[in-house]
Structure 1
Amino acid sequence: MEIHQTEKNSKKLAAWFKSSISAKFIITGILTLLLMIPLSLIQDLIAEREVRQKSVVSELNDKWGNEILLYGPILKVPYKTYQETVVFNETTQETEKKQTTQLKYAYFFPKTLDINTDVKTTAKKRNNFETTVFTADIATSGSFEIPDFSLKSIANEDIVWDKATLEIKTTNLKGLKSEVKLNLNGNSYSFETKANGNSELDALESSYLALEDVPNTTTRSFDFKLTYNGSKSIRFVPIGKVTNVQMTSDWKHPKHTGSFITQSKRTTENGGFEANWKLLHTNRSFSQQYFKVLPNLNQYAFGTDFIIPLNEYQQSERAVKYGFLVIGLTFLVFFLIQTLSKISIHPFQYLMIGIALIMFYTLLISISEHSSFFKAYLIAGIAVIVMITLYSKSILKNWKFTLLIGSSLSALYSFIFVIIQMESYALLVGSIGLFIILGIVMYVSRKIDWDFDSAQPTHLESQLTTENS
């Protein structure tokens, strides 16, 4: 009797799960949560491929040229200092005062500094990975005023004018593609590299200036040009009393960064940009001249980052983040159709549909590595929508519901693609879209008779009792 009663209860429970709306809803929810496991594995795959991409891009950039930070020229003038020391003379057995001379350096920044930069970008590709590098032509001009040693009470005879030089501080020396020559007061000076071998900037230093070129009696003007191969960014430090920087480029996605904002900027006819900065010495918190040691001024740098707003892996990652929404809403559509039309859909069929939705992301990642993200999204989307739509026809036996599934998936994937492409308005558009979807679901689900669950077990029990009799 106990075995017979247990068997009867099992049949009753199985029948209830088969016909109960709540049971179907619970099973659908469990399947949705289970499908989050392969979805998280896909996110790990994207992260792995993105790390590989960054490694390849870093290698390409390193061979072409890295980030550029530049400031100069800086007038470097040596001066003498004197120090008295007391020494003991063993011969006379008396102490004597001895004066030693030390050579130190004073650094003076330009009075005016004008920098014009023209940047041409180029795409570099290795296997499936691509990066953007650039060639920058930098033309610099300005003037030095007479150095003021009075702040340190340094006598004029202690200033070693004939040993004065010019320095240009910079990074990415291997990206430098032109000979560095500076014109000062009509004469040309070549520069030699002074590599630091640490985190500080390297320096380009000129040979000793001719006495007639040193600005010790009057203002001297200068100009020089540099051609750089670089990547990621170009930045300058405003060391002039008045610093004017103009930058033009064909790059369509600039990000102007640093301690100072642009004075003006505009988009050019070719889709690139033109940006201008104008800074005074009162806008910054460092001096116009230094004695003994030149500080690290990197923190005051400004310029432009040449960024790729969203690469294929970043867009794929954003698409996967909406995976729960895609699976959940797709299952919800099938659940509503099943509930309203009384068509039976087996959990295994839900699982097959869920796996097809997961396959969309693997197709997206693999195809986007060989093509653009738009083409990959289009191909993967059409493939999955067609597969699920045809599969739905065999389940639902009705073209009306089948077309509803196909159109719902098309609208959902289109909506997510629009959100992925947006940056500033992604949250706003996504929130509005989800609100509309919620309204549609609420409107459709209002016809569901949720009381069916409470009455169903009694009906099934009577039916089973009749069958057992």
Structure 2
Amino acid sequence: METTNTSPFAFLSKFAITFKLIVIGFLAILLLIPAVMIQELIHEREMLKQTAVAEIGSKWAEAQLISGPILTFPMQFEKTENQKTSSYVEHLHVVPDDLKVTGTIYPEQLKRGIFTAIVYRSDIEIRGTFQVPAAFDEAHFVGIKGEKATINVGLGDLRGVEEVVNLKWGTETFTVSPGSTIPDLQTAGFHVALPMEKLSPGAEIPFSIQLKLRGSESIYFIPVGQTTEIKLSSAWSSPKFDGKFLPNDRKLDEEGFEASWKVLELNRNFPQQWKDDSFNAQLKAAAFGVELLSPMEDYQKSLRSAKYALLTISLTFLMFFLVEILGKKNIHPFQYLMVGLSICLFYVLLIAISEHSNFNFAYLVAMSAVIITICLYSLPLFKSKKYTLALGGVLLGTFGFIFVTLQMEDYALLMGSVGLFVILAATMYITRNIDWYNIKGSSQSE
């Protein structure tokens, strides 16, 4: 009569593989703690860089926003009610009929410690024509207060002005004064006061302004002309065109970029003339320009790669487990833990090295160091060069897959989905003949 072995040892032996899988899964989840800490470290280093960049900008000049020129008339009104006369002032703002801006941007890189900020110098020419209002025939209008109008040009940071600025108005030249007379529209900038005798009603008056301007990271414009044309060029090869309008034409290569915009009155949400602060929000919302930024910062790449930590750890643990099953090896959970911590160390090395060199070089060095370390550690465990080389191939393929995914930002989801499917299919194929309830027997049969 056949007897069945029901001893506790037989029961434990039968479910040893399941227990081992549970332990390995627990270790993989446990290693998410240092992975999350690494992501926090990346955020912290990124914040330190942003602080350093902001400090450099505060010393050099902040990002520039050029708004104007805007011709402003302080209109005096008198109104009589119940035999009482009261006076008040309203500001009429007039923008150019046509506005042409031509600029060349010269980027520079300044360092604060190990961090680099992008700043620039620029040569900006602003020219166009104003149509002076033919008459002020509004009710209760009595005249221009002080008999002077002002032309204001807004800037993001006046500290960026490097040379004396002159306004050429018709055939005359005026030196500008600091400050804006319309702070609700332009918080900072410069202005010129023009006597009314220089503003013939209905006249079209050409103007031009030359600016040598410094700034940090970006330069933006507000299209105040009835037709606004802006042309910019620079040796910076990684621009980001942003704002309300994108360039109509652009040329981008390794030597730099050229971009041109054309904005019509119909494209924006404010008129050629308005009073006081009627269109302040619409004016500011129409800004557009260019940022001198890299397509993807190294910290962003490091953060994205760290999000693949669980995938890398799981694949490595899977390889170790298959070696245990197919090669009849016995690997202790502590050894799994050491390998997992080595993979976590990859991301720390990547951050540290990329702060001092190119990201791709940092990735290659960190990847090579970790793969070599894990393979050398695994060789005496596996006691097989074949399995060790297979592990090295898995690690190389995993890190290579992550690197390619980081470079192909637009196709990251597609790459990730296809990669995971291939990995799952390969694992299913390798383990298709394993009898998980009789590991010894299945291994021998293979």
Answer yes or no: same fold by TM over 0.5: yes
Task: Tell me, yes or no, if the aligned pair for 1:242 and 1:280 is still in contact at 8 Å.
Answer: yes
Q: Which amino acid aligns with 2:48?
A: R
Q: Which residue of 2 aligns with 1:258?
A: 243
What do the CA deviations read for 1:368-391 (whole angstroms, capped 9, x no partner)?
Answer: 222222222111111111111111
Which of the numbers 347, 352, 363 marks the counterpart of 1:377?
A: 363
Q: Which amino acid aligns with 2:51?
A: S
CA distance in 1, matches of 2:422, 2:195: 73
Q: Which residue of 1 aligns with 2:124?
A: 138
Q: Which residue of 2 aligns with 1:461?
A: none
Which of the numbers 250, 257, 263 marks the counterpart of 1:273?
A: 257
Q: Which residue of 2 aligns with 1:122?
A: 108
Q: Within the alignment, does 1:56 sit opposite 2:52 as a pair?
A: yes
Displacement after TM superposition at 1:278 (Å): 0.9
Distance 1:163 1:293, change over 3 A: same
Spell out the pairing of 1:67-466 with structure 2 (5 A cutoff). 67-84=63-80, 97-149=83-135, 152-153=138-139, 158-159=143-144, 162-194=147-179, 201-209=187-195, 211=197, 213-268=198-253, 270=255, 272-293=256-277, 295-296=279-280, 297-452=283-438
Displacement after TM superposition at 1:78 (Å): 3.1
Displacement after TM superposition at 1:361 (Å): 1.5
Q: Which amino acid aligns with 1:348?
A: F
CA distance in 2, matches of 1:210, 1:98: 30
Q: Which amino acid aligns with 1:73?
A: P
CA distance in 2, matches of 1:351, 1:298: 56
Q: Which amino acid aligns with 1:258?
A: G
What do the CA deviations read for 1:197-241 (whole angstroms, capped 9, x no partner)?
Answer: 889522311033472x42424211011111221123211111111
Task: Tell me, yes or no, if the aligned pair for 2:325 and 2:439 is still in contact at 8 Å.
Answer: no
Task: Tell me, yes or no, if the aligned pair for 2:134 and 2:201 is still in contact at 8 Å.
Answer: no
State the Cα RMSD in Å.
2.5
CA distance in 2, matches of 1:14, 1:383: 39
CA distance in 1, matches of 2:208, 2:277: 25
Displacement after TM superposition at 1:166 (Å): 1.1
What do the CA deviations read for 1:237-272 (whole angstroms, capped 9, x no partner)?
Answer: 1111111111112222222222223211121461x2
Q: 420-429 vs 52-61, which deviates more? A: 420-429
Query: Match of 2:224, SS?
Result: coil
CA distance in 2, matches of 1:454, 1:319: 39
CA distance in 1, matches of 2:183, 2:68: 20
Q: Which residue of 2 aligns with 1:5?
A: none
CA distance in 2, matches of 1:391, 1:293: 71
What do the CA deviations read for 1:276-304 (whole angstroms, capped 9, x no partner)?
Answer: 11111111221101234464211111111
Identity of aligned residues (%): 37
Distance 1:293 1:341, change over 3 A: closer
Task: Tell me, yes or no, if the aligned pair for 1:360 and 1:384 is still in contact at 8 Å.
Answer: yes
Task: Tell me, yes or no, if the aligned pair for 1:68 and 1:230 is still in contact at 8 Å.
Answer: yes
CA distance in 2, matches of 1:227, 1:445: 69
CA distance in 2, matches of 1:152, 1:444: 87
Task: Tell me, yes or no, if the aligned pair for 1:78 and 1:106 is still in contact at 8 Å.
Answer: yes
Displacement after TM superposition at 1:12 (Å): 5.3
CA distance in 1, matches of 2:276, 2:297: 47
Task: Tell me, yes or no, if the aligned pair for 1:77 and 1:161 is still in contact at 8 Å.
Answer: no
Identify unmatched segments of 5+ residues in structure 1: 1-7, 87-96, 457-469
Q: Which residue of 1 aligns with 2:4?
A: none
CA distance in 1, matches of 2:383, 2:343: 21
Distance 1:174 1:210, change over 3 A: same
Task: Tell me, yes or no, if the aligned pair for 2:158 and 2:189 is still in contact at 8 Å.
Answer: no
CA distance in 2, matches of 1:85, 1:138: 51
Identify unmatched segments of 5+ residues in structure 2: 1-6
Q: Which amino acid aligns with 1:351?
A: L
Q: Which amino acid aligns with 1:289?
A: Q
Distance 1:65 1:238, change over 3 A: same
CA distance in 2, matches of 1:273, 1:217: 40
Task: Tell me, yes or no, if the aligned pair for 1:22 and 1:453 is still in contact at 8 Å.
Answer: no
Aligned length: 433
CA distance in 2, matches of 1:408, 1:268: 37
CA distance in 1, matches of 2:137, 2:381: 90
Query: Match of 1:313, SS?
Result: helix
Query: Match of 2:168, SS?
Result: strand
What do the CA deviations read for 1:343-366 (whole angstroms, capped 9, x no partner)?
Answer: 221212111111111111122222
Which of the numbers 61, 66, 81 marks the counterpart of 2:62?
A: 66
CA distance in 2, matches of 1:414, 1:123: 31
Task: Tell me, yes or no, if the aligned pair for 1:115 and 1:141 is still in contact at 8 Å.
Answer: yes
CA distance in 2, matches of 1:437, 1:266: 41
CA distance in 1, matches of 2:27, 2:137: 78
Task: Tell me, yes or no, if the aligned pair for 1:107 and 1:294 is still in contact at 8 Å.
Answer: no
